[in-house]
Amino acid sequence: MLLLCSNDFSNSTLIQDKSNTIDCKELQKILTRINFYMKKSQLKDAYHKLDESIRKKGLSFEQCCTFLHKLKHDTWQTKPVNQIWFDLFGRFMNNGTERQKVSAESFLRKFLLKQQKEKDVELEDVRQIFAHLNQLEIANVASSKALNSDSHMYIDKDHFEAYLMSAENDVFDPKKERFDQNCMTHSLSEYWINSSHNTYLTGDQLASQSSVEMYMYALYRGCRCVELDVWDGDVDTDLGLPIPIVYHGHTMTTKIPFSDIIDAVKVFLSFNPESYPIIFSLENHCSIPFQEVMAEQLLTILGDHLYTPSESTLKGALPSPER
């Protein structure tokens, strides 16, 4: 929206009066051009809520962007936030006016502890959150006065909305991201595994290049499950052996030998012997002769690096990453 607004703002002002500002009528034209539908009466009412000094001078580009942000929010986007805000903290404050802010104590008790069921959070943690939130630049050209003092004691509804959308309110506990060596003894099937889709592709799925280097790139970024879409290729004229290939089937993507990828992974394991298990997600489209060659290449290239389950282990749990 802001890029389109910049173009239309320039067309609306610089060409006509060189003032670098727009009035309500010019703003209405911009809204029409960017498909932001609003009744003229509603826009006029919102415009006249601006400070008189701003109305007389007109809106600069930055003020126009901020004003559009407020219009968008005040029309529909923050209605759910309004409901959450009033349900949690009450519609009216102790002095009888509509609630404009909430204290750190109320935020901790009514929201974090009661509603979110958070643990190990104290009042000082909330004050740090408030101080951070109140440093954010929230659009306020058409809003009530910002909190100028006690930034660690209160937040308003706009900053509460910012908190709801922030990483600090993530449903995932960041403590769970801390690596614990003692937790790596469960069955491999009990873990979320960093995985890659169409690992071999350097670009799109229709006409891009396939590259062995993409496997090294994925592995060094922490991926431990890579995908290989394997198809029947040519037959080696000298040895008479089938050559399984990897590419995105029935497209114009280039093709690479299956064995080259296995060689690359072997090199990675040689330089990173402490790596956790690497999983091949094989999308196997090969006929039996080509599948036999795939199996032979896995065995001969990877050797002891390849996990081969015994008859007894096939019926039990998968080994742990530590094994």
Active site residues: 197, 248
Residue pair 255/208 in contact by the 8 Å Cβ criterion? no
CA–CA separation, 192 vs 62, rounded Å?
Answer: 44
Phi, psi of 95 (to 5 degrees): -85, 5
- Closest CA relative to residue 9, chosen from 60, 67, 46: 60
The secondary structure of 99-161 as a DSSP string is P-EEEHHHIIIIIIIIIS---S--HHHHHHHHHHHTTS----TTSSPP--S-TTTEEEHHHHH
Residue 96: which region, alpha, beta or left (left: phi > 0; alpha: psi -120 to 50)?
left
Structure tokens, 193: 């595994």
Element (H, E) at 56: helix 52-57
CA max distance for the chain: 92
- Closest CA relative to residue 68, chosen from 19, 3, 159, 10: 3
Residues 6+ apart with CB under 8 A from 225: 193, 194, 195, 196, 278, 279, 281
Residues 6+ apart with CB under 8 A from 83: none
CA–CA separation, 110 vs 213, rounded Å?
Answer: 52
Residue pair 302/275 in contact by the 8 Å Cβ criterion? no
